[in-house]
């Protein structure tokens, strides 16, 4: 499933991050790519140990932890610290599937890439091209969101970033290991959770809410991997 999270970051937060990104020291993005991905990757990234990247990453993780849509859809167990990239002057990243496992820098902790997330920092009108193209069971989707918005999609998806032919595209990207490894089961839990929330808002005294909530938590208990 693909899910847009609007306004994950406020306009002021986007503005502060943009200022930091525009003055940051960048490196060749191929440094963090595997042998196959490096053949189709042409962009810039912040170094993994960048203090600027860590500060912005902490902000993103804080906002995600407070976002009910993200928590419901991703059911996070572990989240890789956010990374940051820059595309300009024809930069692109061709079709690829992300690594199954990533190591949190400076640790031996592995994160399975169940859910991919991209947070946009550039407005769509500020650059041409740069669409995130995702291909999965839901077909091919083209994503180019407002600054501060995020998109979630399966880590198993084939995807690419089209060449940026004008302007600059700044974004953050990272992966979440979910409590529930199966994308299909996560989708069922998400749909059930959303229906429970809507029913609660409309009919808070509905007697069946307790049973529905119990079913949700029993499914989560049965499917979760901790």
Nearest to 224 by CA among 178, 179, 184, 176: 179
CA–CA gap between residue 41 and residue 51 (Å, rounded)? 24
58 and 126 both lie in a single domain = yes
171 and 195 both lie in a single domain = no
Q: Give residue-wise pLDDT tens across range 142-176.
A: 999 999 999 999 999 999 999 999 999 999 999 99
205 and 126 both lie in a single domain = no
Q: Give residue-wise pLDDT tens across range 53-75.
A: 999 999 999 999 999 999 999 99
pTM of structure:
0.94
166 and 188 both lie in a single domain = no
172 and 189 both lie in a single domain = no
CA–CA gap between residue 209 and residue 22 (Å, rounded)? 49
Q: Would the pLDDT of 138 be above 90?
A: no
Q: Give residue-wise pLDDT tens across range 97-132.
A: 999 999 999 999 999 999 999 999 999 999 999 999
Mean pLDDT, range 25-38, rounded to an integer: 85
- Domain of residue 46 covers 3-178
Considering its fold, how many domains does the chain have in total? Answer: 2
200 and 131 both lie in a single domain = no
Instruction: Please give the pLDDT value at position 225.
Output: 86
Angle ∠(133,136,138) on CA atoms, nearest 5: 100
């Amino acid at each position: 499933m693909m899910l847009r999270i609007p306004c994950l970051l406020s306009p002021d937060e986007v503005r502060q991050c943009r200022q930091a990104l525009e003055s940051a020291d960048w490196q060749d993005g191929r440094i963090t790519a595997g042998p196959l991905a490096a053949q189709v990757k042409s962009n810039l990234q912040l170094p993994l140990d960048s203090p600027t990247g860590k500060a912005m990453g902490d902000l993103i993780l804080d906002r995600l932890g407070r976002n009910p849509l993200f928590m419901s859809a991703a059911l996070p167990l572990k989240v890789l610290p956010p990374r940051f990239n820059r595309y300009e002057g024809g930069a692109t990243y061709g079709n690829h599937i992300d690594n199954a496992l990533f190591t949190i820098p400076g640790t031996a902790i592995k994160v399975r890439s169940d859910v991919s997330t991209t947070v946009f920092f550039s407005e769509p009108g500020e650059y041409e091209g740069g669409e995130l193209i995702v291909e999965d069971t839901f077909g091919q989707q083209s994503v180019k969101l407002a600054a501060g918005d995020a998109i979630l999609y399966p880590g198993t998806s084939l995807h690419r970033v089209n060449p940026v032919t004008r302007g600059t595209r700044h974004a953050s990207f990272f992966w979440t290991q979910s409590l529930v490894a199966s994308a299909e089961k996560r989708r069922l839990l998400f749909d059930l959770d959303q229906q429970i929330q809507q029913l609660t808002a409309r009919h808070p005294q509905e007697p069946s809410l307790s049973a529905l909530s119990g079913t949700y938590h029993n499914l989560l208990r049965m499917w979760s991997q901790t």
